[in-house]
Structure 1
Amino acid sequence: MLGAIIGDIAGSVYEGRNTKDYNFEMFPRRSNFTDDTVMTMAVAEWAMKNDINADADVQTRLLEETMVDMAINVPCPMGGYGGGFHTWLFHPERLIDYHTGKPASGRCPYNSWGNGSAMRTSAIGWLYGDMGTTLRVAETAAAITHNHPEGIKGAQAVSAAIFLARNGASKDDIKEFITAKFHYNLDTPWKYLHKTYGWDSNCQGTVPQAVISFLSSGDFESAIRRAISIGGDSDTLACITGSIAEAYYKSIPEYMVEKAMSLIPARFKKVLEMMGEKWYCYDKNIL
């Protein structure tokens, strides 16, 4: 999951001022983690203590409690939650039941297909031993807010790509699975995206582009550079791309690891340790 955090931090200053320069400065002075990392950590905390065989309402209630607790206790120094999700987190009394158009009785999904469901699921790709469970848990993690089919699909696609990458699948195999299962077009050349891509905060306008940035890369750093330099929602694009690239390349440059670890709070470091991420950190005391 450190790959997702690094992508988020690297993209944090470019979200509001996009760059098309592949050789951009990786970590300008104001670089820091955003809401993408906060919610990635929340889902990871939940997934590690969640009983996947429990009643669906029990699982969802635990996820809600974890996400709200993380948001309240770990404010993000960069970025900010989207309007619908901010209301869901902090002002549930303002939520509207989209089925009836009337005030909701509590926190409820709001039929979103935004990319927030996709960027927070990297832990799910690491934790389970089969694809079926991975996809099922990814749906639960998405549907608590992003219950639109595209919102669920985005979360499942990212989790599936990570699952395949960590289990040794080739890029061709990953591309074939994601294309067949989720019907994303992954044939668009990265160079074309680099010239034409603009802002899009939907899953369907973010997840394929993030996967293409990974597929066209040569190592972890080049994956991050490709994701950020196409423009758009830079922190989320790089967060998704970084999560897949970490699982595939199984190596992250030392300077990137050190930068991320210098910025994240102790609670996040504990989550990483519990997830077993200590194995590739160059300084084994960094956690």
Structure 2
Amino acid sequence: MIGAIAGDIIGSVYEGTRMKTKNFVLFSDLCVYTDDTVQTVALADTILTGTPYVKNLKTFYRWYPDAGYGGSFHRWARGEDSEPYGSWGNGAAMRISPVGYACDDLATVLEKARGFTAVTHNHPEGIKGGQAVAAAVFLARTGRSKEEIRTFVETRFQYDLSRSTGEIRPGYAFDVSCQGTVPPAIRAFLDSTDFEDAIRTAVSLGGDTDTLACITGGIAQAFYGGVPEALERKVYAILDERLGTITGTFMGRYCESR
């Protein structure tokens, strides 16, 4: 899961830009964690402690109210009503990587991903995006090849992963939907050579760079067996004590060491 957080932090300063290059400063002084990290850590805490995810999402929102949430999530988190709001946004996919690490079989991954996604993003495209990313993390973690991951995602979720990032990049623009974010993020992983290259490839698409890199980073960590130590240290230095402690605890319990 720290791969997802690394992607969020690295991509945070390039959000909304037309990067279109992999040649950029990986950790600038302006890098911050965003709502992608906050909601990912909230899910990790739910898995660790059994606290209902709805409760954790609202609690973490109160702790981190300025992390860059979307308008619909703001209203939901502030309100007394805890019913889902039918979202198809990419928030469903950015926060789900802990499920791919914590579950022991694919059926459970898909079931848990559906449940944790539907508490807010109960639109079919939202659930589809969350399940696709969680499944990709699980398959990567359990030794499946990139081709096997691609085939499963295309067959099960009908996402088109045929276009390379080189083909996608020129015309890609900011997109907050699951259907417009998840396939390019997975393709960035498929086209990568190592963890850092995966993050650089995702950010190079431009647009919603923190979320693209967050999704890509969660899968890349699983596939490449971790995050480079220097990058991991940078991430923990940026996280506050609460987020860092929960992340470290989850990593120690569910993520294999390098």
The residue aligned with 2:53 is 63
CA-CA distance at 1:29 after TM superposition: 1.4
Answering whether residue 9 of structure 2 is matched by residue 6 of structure 1, we say: no
2: distance between equivalents of 1:140 and 1:40?
Answer: 15
1:97 is aligned to none
| Residue 126 in structure 1 maps to residue 101 in structure 2 | yes
Look up the match of 2:85.
110
- Give me the whole-angstrom Cα distance separating, in 1, the residues matched to 2:138 and 2:228: 22
Measure the CA separation in 2 of the matches of 1:219 and 1:83.
Answer: 35
Extract unaligned runs of 5+ from structure 2.
none
Residue 194 of structure 1: CA displacement? 1.5
- Indicate the residue corresponding to 1:88 in structure 2: 76
Residue 18 of structure 1, CA deviation: 3.4
Aligned twin of 1:170: 145
1:192 matched to which residue of 2?
167
- Counterpart residue type for residue 71 of structure 2: G
Which residue is equivalent to 1:53? Answer: none
C-alpha distance in structure 1 between counterparts of 2:82 and 2:209, whole Å: 29
Q: Shift of residue 12 of structure 1?
A: 0.3
Higher relative contact order (CA 8 A, sep 6+): 2
- Return closer, same or farther for 1:267/1:210 CA change in 2, 3 Å cut-off: same
Q: How does 1:38-53 map to 2 (within 5 A)?
A: 38-50=38-50
Higher radius of gyration, 1 or 2 = 1
1:74 aligned to 2:64?
Answer: yes
CA distance in 2, matches of 1:131, 1:88: 30
TM-score by length of 2: 0.95
Aligned length: 256
Using the size of structure 1 for normalisation, the TM-score is 0.86
User: What is aligned with 1:30?
Assistant: 30
- Runs (5+) with no aligned partner, structure 1: 51-58, 94-105, 282-287
Q: Is the 8 A contact 2:15 2:208 kept in 1?
A: yes
**Letter paired with 2:242:** R
After superposition, the C-alpha distances for 1:8-48 in whole angstroms (9 at most, x for unaligned) are 00000100333112111111111010010000001111122
Aligned partner of residue 179 in structure 2, secondary structure: coil
Answering whether residue 121 of structure 2 is matched by residue 137 of structure 1, we say: no
- Over the matched positions of the two proteins, sequence identity in percent amounts to 46
Aligned pairs (5 A) from 1:211-230: 211-230=186-205
1 or 2, which has the higher helix percentage?
2
Distance 1:114 1:180 in 2: 22
Give the conservation status (yes or no) of the 8 Å contact 1:18–1:234: no
Q: CA RMSD in A?
A: 1.5
Among candidates 243, 247, 251, match of residue 276 of structure 1: 251
